[in-house]
Amino acid sequence: MTNKTSLQKSLGIGLTLGVTLLWLLGVTASGLVAQHEMNEVFDSALEETAQRILPLAVTDILNRENGARNQRAPALKDHDEYLTYLVRDRQGNLLLQSHDADPRVFGPLPQEGFSNTSTHRIYGASAVSETIYLEVAEPLAHRREAALEAGLALLMPLTFLIPVSLLGIWWIVRLSLRKVVDFQQSIESRGAGDLSPVAGDQLPREFEPIALAVNRLLERLHRALETERSFTANSAHELRTPLATALAKIQRLKTRIQSDQLKADIADIEESLRSLSVLSGKLLELAKAEGGGAISQSRHDLVPILAMIVSDFESQAPGRITLTLPESEVTSFLDPDAFAILVRNLIENAIKHGSREQPVEVSMAADGTLRVRNGGNLIPPDQLALLRNRFARSKTHATGSGLGLAIADAIATGAGMTMHLRSPATGRQDGFEAELNVACI
């Protein structure tokens, strides 16, 4: 089960990764566009600054009386310079510089227009017939910082986007799969006997073929089981009359025969016919038990029915059965006929397979717990687990076909009850016990 993938998980992770990746691509693209636009604005500001300073610088230089060179423009107020500038002549001789300007940042000869060094963006403009050049430098680090801040601002929404997308997708998938989960639970919660079609009309379109396939399978299973049951029931039913006729004829023949040897042979045949007749009766019971109908429309008191069945068995095992009944009624929706078949099989087993020296204890409690208990050899757990299968028998000297517990179990399961088989019986070292609660339905 552990390596099974969850649709919810894989969709959640896959879609979130996809959204994140697309967002990152979007951020990269818009970052590049923003950087380009910012560069244009910065360049235009740089150019504008140079154009503004140039006439002032030229006037300042031309007005110098003593022709002094390399003057530093005084700072009116102490401040860090963000844009620095140099004014030079064509040969590169310094005429004026802003108070923070570092001449090493600029090239050896002045240039017009935009140029880049490893640390600065420089714009140069000339005046007075290209004899005076002004160059303004702006550190590139500032532009990088601006681009980085813009990129980070664009990335910020991802911290919200990832959890929100994971949660949103998880919620949407859960919502869309709710009908599928309902469908799965409706299949899971049905009992083994319920083969009616499952309702798939509420399912999302993609899952409809599954519902159709499940219903087709259920229908085929239902048909196959129905065919098997009706075949068993019909054959058992058809066998009854010829078996009864053959038994009657054999019994008549026995009275007419004088030879003891022949009489013994005929008794053997009679015994075989009798067990065949019992087998066909059990097959019929099994077919009925498996065909459903273990639940009746109204509640019935099962106490008198149990008392009657036990008294029927008295002649078979005089004095061996001890019966404990509750004072009050025990009512149940279990069909009285099905209850009778179930109890008969359990008591018959206890008499047949239990120790002859020990009693068969049949008890019903006021809460509906029915117990049939007998002494006898222990049955190993691995065999005990298989006894309710058809034709399964454990070590026993008694005759039988191995159908009794299968019939009892089919009735119990069909009515929604659980039959517990135990060896040793509760409160004993040995023996066998069958227990079920008939009032739970």
Ligand X SMILES: Nc1ncnc2c1ncn2[C@@H]1O[C@H](COP(=O)(O)OP(=O)(O)OP(=O)(O)O)[C@@H](O)[C@H]1O
**Which residues 223-282 are close enough to bind ligand X by CB under 6 A?**
282
Q: Binds 282, which of ligand X, Mg ion, none (CB < 5 to 8 A, cut-off by type)?
A: ligand X
H/E/C letters for each residue in the chain?
Answer: CCCCCCHHHHHHHHHHHHHHHHHHHHHHHHHHHHHHHHHHHHHHHHHHHHHHHHHHHHHHHHCCCCCCCCEECCCCCCCCCCCEEEEEECCCCEEEECCCCCHHHCCCCCCCEEEECCCEEEEEEEECCCCEEEEEEEEHHHHHHHHHHHHHHHHHHHHHHHHHHHHHHHHHHHHHHHHHHHHHHHHHCCCCCCCCCCCCCCCCHHHHHHHHHHHHHHHHHHHHHHHHHHHHHHHHHHHHHHHHHHHHHHHHHHHHCCCHHHHHHHHHHHHHHHHHHHHHHHHHHHHHHHCCCCEEEEEEECHHHHHHHHHHHCCCCCCCEEEECCCCCCEEEECHHHHHHHHHHHHHHHHHHCCCCCCEEEEECCCCEEEEEECCCCCCHHHHCCCCCCCCCCCCCCCCCCCHHHHHHHHHHHCCCCCEEECCCCCCCCCEEEEEEHHHC
Number of residues that bind ligand X (CB under 6 A): 23
Residue in 211, 362, 405, 438 binding ligand X, rule: CB under 6 A: 405
Residue among 77 and 397 whose Cβ is closer to ligand X: 397
Q: Which stretch binds Mg ion (CB under 5 A): 183-191, 275-283, 336-344, 404-412?
A: 404-412
Q: Which is nearer to ligand X, 16 or 374 (CB)?
A: 374
Tell me the residue length of the chain: 441
Quick check: 31 binds Mg ion (CB under 5 A)? no
Does residue number 106 form part of the binding site for ligand X (CB under 6 A)? no
Does 98 help bind Mg ion (rule: CB under 5 A)? Answer: no
Of the residues 16, 280, 374, 437, which one makes contact with ligand X according to CB under 6 A:
374
Minimum distance from CB of 191 to ligand X (Å)? 22
Give the list of residues 6+ apart from residue 237 with CB closer than 8 angstroms, or none: 284
Sole binder of ligand X in the list 432, 435, 437, 439 (CB under 6 A)? 432
Instruction: Determine if 288 is a binding residue for ligand X (CB under 6 A).
Output: no
Using the contact rule CB under 6 A, the part of the chain among 24-32, 107-115, 303-311, 390-398 near ligand X is 390-398
Please report, as residue ranges, which positions from 316 to 345 form the binding site for ligand X (by CB under 6 A): 345
Report the C-alpha gap between 38 and 41 in whole angstroms.
Answer: 5
Q: Could you tell me which stretch among 76-84, 128-136, 223-231, 352-360 binds ligand X (CB under 6 A)?
A: 352-360
Asked if 414 interacts with ligand X (CB under 6 A), we say no
Looking at the Cβ atoms of 16 and 345, the one nearer to ligand X is 345
* Interface residue with Mg ion, options 404, 419, 433, 439 (CB under 5 A): 404
CB of 350 to ligand X, least distance (A): 4
Q: Does the footprint of ligand X cover residue 404 (CB under 6 A)?
A: yes
396 binds ligand X (CB under 6 A): yes
In this structure, is the dihedral angle defined by the CA atoms of residues 404, 406, 407 and 408, taken in order, positive or negative? positive
Chain residue whose CB lies nearest Mg ion: 404
Which residue from 403, 412, 438, 439 is in contact with ligand X, where contact means CB under 6 A? 403
Residue 396 binds which entry of ligand X, Mg ion, none, CB below 5-8 Å type-dependent: ligand X
**Residue 349 binding Mg ion, by CB under 5 A:** yes
Nearer to Mg ion, 299 or 390 (CB): 390
394 contacts ligand X (rule: CB under 6 A)? yes
Phi and psi, residue 5, nearest 5°: -90, 145
Residue 376's binding partner among Mg ion, ligand X, none (Cβ under 5 to 8 angstroms by kind) is ligand X
Q: Which of 354, 371, 428, 439 touches ligand X by CB under 6 A? A: 354
Interface residue list for Mg ion (CB under 5 A):
349, 404
Interface residue list for ligand X (CB under 6 A):
282, 345, 349-350, 352-354, 374, 376, 379, 387, 392-394, 396, 400-406, 432
